[in-house]
Structure 1
Amino acid sequence: MRHFTFAAVMALTTAGAALAGEQFVDETGFAVSGFDVVAYRTLEQSPVGTAQPAAVPGSAAITAEYNGSTFAFATEANRATFLENPAHYVPQYDGHCAYGVAKGGKVPGNPNLWRIIDDKLYLNITENVVSFWEEDIPGNLTLSQGNWPSLDPKPASTNTIPNFTSEAPDKG
């Protein structure tokens, strides 16, 4: 019985992750506000409780489509890497704030407030929210993973990221 329960939970978790909802796209017209999702993997992650390095802006000349949205990249190599396995590089919860999902809602994720946990990229909305999320990352991930299946089919957030100035490329 224990193996069945574990298998059922894994199947539901995997199924929920595979069925991406609508990607959060802000006023820039780009997913992740035009920042390069592959480049996060090259940045040195700061310890919990300290600010992460700034995200790497992408270029309007180097893009790829995924989940109905345009992603921008700093280099052709990053674009090619992304196209090999896009689901690996996109932020969890379709770019929405991980803590917001833990609390039961879809709010925008700020590309400069990021953390990679278990090889997955998570974004949060404000520095204050990051501190709440980091108080109990495992517990908040459990909550967000439990909430996501019911939130996933709802439309993406249309809110603006607070206190955020995008360096997104001009779609020109």
Structure 2
Amino acid sequence: MLTHAFSRRTLAAAAAALAVMAIVPINAYAVKGTGGEYNTLYAGLGAKGYDVVSYFTDGKPVAGSDKFTTTYGGVTWQFASAEHRDAFKADPAKYAPQYGGFCSWGVAQGKLFDVDPVNGWTVSGGKLYLNFNGDLNKTFARDTEGFISKAERNWPGLNR
């Protein structure tokens, strides 16, 4: 019968594996140092290929295209349109994510984490801040200025 396809041992092993995965600290995802470069943990693209100008102009992330690219800071950046690419080229510091595109909350903790550019982002004070995921983005939003202040102190030591 299929109702007993899993043994108790199999279920116990699966439960144990899930428990371990649930308690793996976020620090396990940390990068050791930037090497002075932008976060390119995803296919060598800045902001994982998302159009960083769209956060400002559209108020949301929009996937970039390999038809509209430029290089800045040794990283390839993709955009949804030639207009967005040209705006970035005219003032990359205005649009490039803070802290090299690493998780802003993580930088505030003295760590470098990858980001989720769809669910983990905030524009504050005219700057783009990316975060590890939507949950950490909510935490970041509760004290944005405090986390930015901590991140500003930590960034020089991490960006090496």
Return the TM-score normalized by structure 1: 0.69
Return the structure number with greater helix share: 2
Choose which of 83, 88, 94 in structure 2 pairs with 1:77. Answer: 83
The alignment-based identity, stated in percent, is 36
* In structure 1, C-alpha distance between the alignment counterparts of 2:122 and 2:42, rounded to whole Å: 23
* In structure 1, C-alpha distance between the alignment counterparts of 2:42 and 2:156, rounded to whole Å: 26
Is 1:126 aligned to residue 156 of structure 2? Answer: no
What is the total number of aligned residue pairs between the two structures?
A: 125
* In structure 2, C-alpha distance between the alignment counterparts of 1:68 and 1:29, rounded to whole Å: 10
Shift of 1:109: 2.0
Any residues of structure 2 matched to 1:1-172 within 5 Å, and which?
A: 21-44=36-59, 53=60, 55-112=61-118, 113-153=120-160
Which structure has the larger Rg?
Answer: 2
- Segments ≥4 residues shifted beyond 6 Å: none
Where relative contact order (Cα < 8 A, 6+ residues apart) is larger, the structure is 1
Q: Which runs of 5+ in 1 are unaligned?
A: 1-19, 45-52, 154-172
Secondary structure of the corresponding residue to residue 39 of structure 2: coil
Shift of 1:42: 1.4
1:9-66, Cα deviation, whole Å (9 max, x unpaired):
xxxxxxxxxxx9311012333111111011111123xxxxxxxx4x101111110000
Shift of 1:138: 1.2
Shift of 1:116: 0.7
Alpha-carbon RMSD across the aligned residues, in angstroms, is: 1.4
Return the TM-score normalized by structure 2: 0.74
